[in-house]
Amino acid sequence: MKRCARHSAICFVLALYLLCILVVNCPVRAEETGEVPSPTLAPGAVAYDSAHPENLLQEQLAAQAFILMEASTGDILMQYNADEMMNPASTTKIMTALLALEYARNAFDDIDEGLAQVITASESVTQLADDGSMIGLRDGERITLKDALYGMMLHSGNDAAVAVAEFIGGSEAAFIDQMNQAAALLGMTDTHFSNPHGLYAPDHYTTARDLALATRTALNNPMFKKIVSTLRYTIPQSNVRASYNMQNSNAMINPDSPYYMSDVIGVKTGTMSQSAYCFVAAAQRKGVTLISVVLYSGMYYRWWDTRKLLEYGFSQYDSVTPEEIYAKAPIDVRTIGFSIDDPNRGELTLDVRAQNPLSDVRITGPIADVQLYSEQYRSYTTIQITSDLRAPIKKGDVLGMLTFYTPDGDAPRYDLIASRDVGARESAPLTIEQIAEMARVGEFIMISWEWLAPPAAIAVAALFALRALFKRIRAKRRDARQIPKPKRRTYQ
């Protein structure tokens, strides 16, 4: 018994020792370790039917405020208390990352050079409240801006946010001023930041609508999308410690999570006793990009709330490209001079090819509106055929131009190209236009008996027919003159 007790004591001391090592050397995982409220659905709420996401009701969500936005149009699909000012917790870091990435993109020749800039962490990173999430930066530690952003957005490192703010703004206070200026420029009228990480402060607040606006702008930066959609990342060895791995706190991008949703591409979680559980998400499906914001939700309900909102949005909106619209009702033209062996008797379907291959034009909106536009797209286009459509025609030949006029004012242009080869008929007669052109430039026209014979034969036959007709008419007249007129006779 004593031996077992001594063995248990040794195991306990060893476990405590290992735990101390982990605490000292590993980043803090929770965004806040204090007690966090976890709202649930109201009693008696109507049951959610996942088979009919279009019937979503506000009472089927636990969040006290939420909004659903279509990113390309800015349309609001659903909202509740979207303008109520609330503490955003670590979703604040969306704005911090946005400013950092704009700095990296605009202050250097390319964004990769900007992200490679080395930050030297100050003593400030060690003075944050220890009940928040950290990546464990130390005073004097050197880390690239890129690694700091990954640590801030995946692991929600408050110390990384401070390091980024001081590096870009020169001081944390100066960077906070930049955050508030950017918020004003983006139309975030109910937002005020007092720190770059989201720890509670009475004058640190925003709204679901304003967070959606910030996220909509951030998603235009490809590097932002790459960072927030990354599941795992390794920060390499620094000048004071070894490399370490971290995992994104967003359960909806983790295939091993029961909350995984393949359409989700980020963005940021937030957890704090004053904010409960928050989540800003972005998702893409068939060209539609949605942004959902849920504030003051439950530990698990923030994932379910987000899924319900996103499924509702995808049931309401559609997005198609001009190429997809055109493919359902392409333009057919009739060629001339085609071979007698042509299987389609000279009929040719035209394909389209964007004149600007880098353009990303989409028609996005409510499903009924997109469908109506697709059905009537000929009313919103101009078609110019620039070829005489005379065979031979090679597949890929540009025969015209099609201009789309989209609902949002774009006017992308597409080449109309041949979808197949059209062979020419051998010894085909020249057209009047070809003869006129050859005469104009003084070319010698070789008259071919093969194409002259048919019309000549028709002309000769017509002459013989007319000659026979005239002979018959003359004969009738002559016979009429030879018949004697009857004499008058009187009978007594």
Catalytic residues: 90, 93, 156
CA dist., res. 77 & res. 414, Å (int): 32
First-to-final CA distance of the chain = 175
| Degrees, nearest 5: CA angle 247-205-176 | 75
| Degrees, nearest 5: CA angle 359-383-409 | 45
Sheet holding 276-285, edge to edge: 76-80, 65-70, 288-297, 276-285, 264-272
Q: 93-106 vs 208-218: helix axis angle to the nearest 10?
A: 30
268 three-class SS: strand
Place of tokens 């963005």: 267
- Cα–Cα distances (Å) from 144 to 119, 126, 195, in that order, read 6, 18, 21
CA dist., res. 399 & res. 388, Å (int): 8
Range list of β-strands (E), 6-74: 65-70
CA dist., res. 289 & res. 72, Å (int): 7
Token output for 155 = 């692991």
Task: Determine if residue 346 is left, alpha or beta; phi over 0 gives left, psi from -120 to 50 gives alpha, anything else beta.
Answer: left
Nearest to 200 by CA among 124, 135, 270, 267: 270
CB burial class (10 A; 0-12, 13-18, 19+) of residue 26? middle
- Cα–Cα distances (Å) from 263 to 60, 231, 293, 330, in that order, read 21, 14, 16, 31
CA dist., res. 78 & res. 138, Å (int): 44
414 three-class SS: strand
CA dist., res. 5 & res. 1, Å (int): 6
Task: Determine if residue 103 is left, alpha or beta; phi over 0 gives left, psi from -120 to 50 gives alpha, anything else beta.
Answer: alpha
DSSP secondary structure, 107-129, as one string = SSSSHHHHHTPEEE--GGGGSS-
Task: Determine if residue 421 is left, alpha or beta; phi over 0 gives left, psi from -120 to 50 gives alpha, anything else beta.
Answer: beta
- Cα–Cα distances (Å) from 92 to 73, 176, 187, 432, in that order, read 24, 11, 16, 74
Strands 363-366 and 317-320 come out as antiparallel
